[in-house]
Amino acid sequence: MSEKGNGIICRYDFIVNKTGRAKGATLLDTDKGYYLLREFKGTKKHLEFEEDLLNRLSENESIKVEQIVRDSDGNLINESDDGRKYVMHKWCASKDLEQKDTMLLIKAAGVLGKLHLLMNEMAYDMKYLNECFNIQESYRQLKSEFDKHNKEMKRTRTFIRDKRRKNEFELLILSSFDKFYQDGIEVENQMHNERIHEFIDDSMRLGRIIHGAYNYHNIVVTGNRLMVTNFEHCKCGIQIRDLYDFMRKVMEKHGWNRDLGMKLLNEYRRNREITAEELKYLILKFKYPEKYWKILNHYNNNNKAWIPDKDVIKLKSVIEQQDRRRDFINSLLNLK
């Protein structure tokens, strides 16, 4: 443990027996259990909201979440000599949720349904939420994301097409681009035709809280329970996006296994009902070729003279999984 770490830890009311690393932070084994010291880069207002949200969630035994711990003087944030800020979290003996453990992944989908249900029972004043989050920026991003991504994909294709010499990765993009881009354009058009913008307006007006980064990296296994962690991205938003983010990453890792996808969705629905409007939005999100766009965007923002082999493998995988992705989307359409 460095001197700067010791300088922060001594401000808390526990004795450290040993230290380690977990989730990119310092794990503390103390006389009062486990704690996690994380570097903090957010705002105090958001952290205060996060603390209140976690405290209220922890009052319900049906769900387990991490908690933020104040120091002996009541401070949420402590600063080291080099100017870095840190926040202490109550932790527990746990292990990572592995993406190959399908039973626990299905369970995690159900936990998300419970989480959303509990957060919907919490009343927050919209004026207060506006002070904690940039809601107008969230509005803008939600309404323009597909249009923005489509323009970025087209710009990348134009750049590659104009190059005189093209590598394997770039040739793969050119040969696959039209089908993925067409999907993107169809989703952009449907955003307007199916009045999704009105759904976004209504959802944001309700002040629904989302986790913001719900994936298996932010869920740990403790005994026979799952604990949800890393709420630093929580904000006002569209809750069904949490489910989409979780499902998409799982589905990509499992080759768009349709049966697994439906089990994830049904487990979520077992704890929280999905409205017809939410289902439409969920289908649109799955229709959009997000992974393909991410690969192109990564290429566009990095060194184009050398393409890592792993990027070629990722692109080939997305192209190869396209038919299975469409099969899963068709299964969702049959739910309507």
Q: Residue 54: its pLDDT value, please?
A: 97
225-236 average pLDDT score = 95
Angle between helices 276-287 and 239-253 (to 10 degrees): 40
Q: What is the pLDDT of residues 112-127, one digit of tens each?
A: 999 999 999 998 888 8
CA-CA-CA-CA dihedral for 209, 141, 106, 325, to nearest 10: 160
Q: What is the pLDDT of residues 200-213, one digit of tens each?
A: 888 888 889 999 99
More confident residue, 150 or 192: 150
The secondary structure of 241-297 as a DSSP string is HHHHHHHHHHHHHTTT-HHHHHHHHHHHHHHSPPPHHHHHHHHHHHHS-HHHHHHHH
CATH 3.90.1200.10 corresponds to the domain 102-333: yes
Question: Both tokens of residue 171?
Answer: 């040739």
CA distance 264 to 310: 28
**Scanning the structure block, which residue is given the tokens 């995690």?**
108
Residue 188: CB atoms within 10 A of its CB come to 20
**CA R_g for the chain:** 22
What is the pLDDT confidence band of residue 1, given thresholds at 50, 70 and 90? very low
Q: What is the pLDDT of residues 251-282, one digit of tens each?
A: 999 999 999 999 999 999 999 999 999 999 99
66-83 average pLDDT score = 93
- Of all residues in the chain, what percent carry a pLDDT higher than 70? 98
Q: What is the pLDDT of residues 280-303, one digit of tens each?
A: 999 999 999 999 999 999 999 988
Half-sphere exposure at residue 28, Cβ-oriented, CA atoms within 13 angstroms: 23
More confident residue, 131 or 177: 177
List the one residue out of 138, 133, 107 whose CA is nearest residue 49: 133
Q: What is the pLDDT of residues 87-114, one digit of tens each?
A: 999 999 999 999 999 999 999 999 999 9
What backbone torsions phi and psi does residue 26 show, to the nearest 5 degrees? -90, 120
Q: Does residue 183 surpass a pLDDT of 50?
A: yes
Contacts 24+ apart (CB under 8 A), 318-321: 318/289, 318/291, 318/292, 319/172, 319/176, 321/252, 321/255, 321/256
Q: Residue 2: its pLDDT value, please?
A: 53
Q: Which residues does residue 88 pair with via DSSP β-bridges, in sequence order?
A: 37, 69
CA distance 311 to 314: 5
More confident residue, 302 or 158: 158
Question: Both tokens of residue 57?
Answer: 């969630």
Q: What is the pLDDT of residues 15-34, one digit of tens each?
A: 999 999 888 899 999 999 99
CATH number (3.40.50.2000, 3.30.200.20, 1.20.200.10, 3.40.190.10) of 3-42+63-91 reads 3.30.200.20
Contacts 24+ apart (CB under 8 A), 303-310: 307/167, 307/168, 307/169, 307/170
Domain regions of the chain by residue span:
3-42+63-91, 102-333
Q: Residue 5: its pLDDT value, please?
A: 61
Q: Which residues does residue 29 pair with via DSSP β-bridges, in sequence order?
A: 18, 34
CA distance 72 to 83: 20
300-323 average pLDDT score = 92
Q: State the chain's mean pLDDT as an integer.
A: 92
User: For 64-78, 128-142, 160-174, which range has the lowest pLDDT when averaged over its residues?
Assistant: 128-142
Question: Both tokens of residue 155?
Answer: 């710009």
Model-level pTM?
0.92
